[in-house]
Structure 1
Amino acid sequence: MPEDDESENDSPEDDIDYRKHPEKYVEKYGIDGSEKGVFKAEPYKSELLPHWSYADSESAEESARKLGKKYERYRENGDFVGMDMARKYCQMGFTRAMRYAKYPCEKKYIDGKEREPKRWADPKKREAAKVFKRRWDEMRHDEKYQTLKEEYRNRTQ
């Protein structure tokens, strides 16, 4: 089974303020397009998690709109870590909603074995996933995001 977010650290929460120390975010979580750190990297987790919901397309629309506003604020401030975290929440909205859409009760694994997906076990979750996919694509293809991502990548090499 895939590793969960808890395996990233020895403790369940980070004690680093990634706004004050963005270089540590890149060191710890990388900038590889993953969802790593989404439930740990503060202060972004506290700023973004309350706005994350994927129950249906309506809640996903509201969530994606709020996450998009946060993303824009981070973008205006040149805050790459914030931008990346907002992207991760949209990516995670997509992946979680798709899991529910394909697997009843989000149970992808039973007794350690992957189940066959159903097409579509929950059509509402599929619609929610589409909402997040659009916002996620906007964020990750944003020119400023790509520029800052490359700058951070070059700093760590």
Structure 2
Amino acid sequence: MTHSLGLREAADNLGIQVAPIRMIEIEGALQRELDSIEVYQDAVEAFAILQDYGIAIALCSNLAAPYGPAVKALMPNHAAYALSYELGMMKPEPEIYRSACNELGIVPEHLFEGTTEVVMIGDSPRCDRDGPRTIGIHGFYFDRKGSGPIHDLKQFAEFVVNSPRDSHR
């Protein structure tokens, strides 16, 4: 997930020999999976709420290269993307969060000074809550199964737009 490689390049890079007919089958299965990707409805609603309030959205994800174009096509209105395969690093490395901030025109060093506020949410406590906090981003964890205070992205977006500044600390 830290290299911009397709299936064939990844196999070659790892020294894995795959018969040509088998590679065609694997690539077909991957394409079917890519074609089946959909954005969760709560994410669509959350993006709309945040955009209505003029809040810039960045997507920061540990992602294999074949998934990048599909994800970007499904979420084209983001101000920034920090994708592991493009940057050569993965969450929770601090530089991936800095890259997302830089793409938004935010100076990460100002986050600790309180002049700018950035919030992040995701489904990994380590990568989406704890990792961003190392550079001053207010990281939140959510669990779609309903355990924990945040269980969908629309709820999070409403929290963000209805919270007074600095209440996320």
TM-score by length of 1: 0.28
Q: Which has the higher contact order (CA 8 A, sep 6+)?
A: 1
State the structure with more CA Rg. Answer: 2
| Greater strand share, structure number | 2
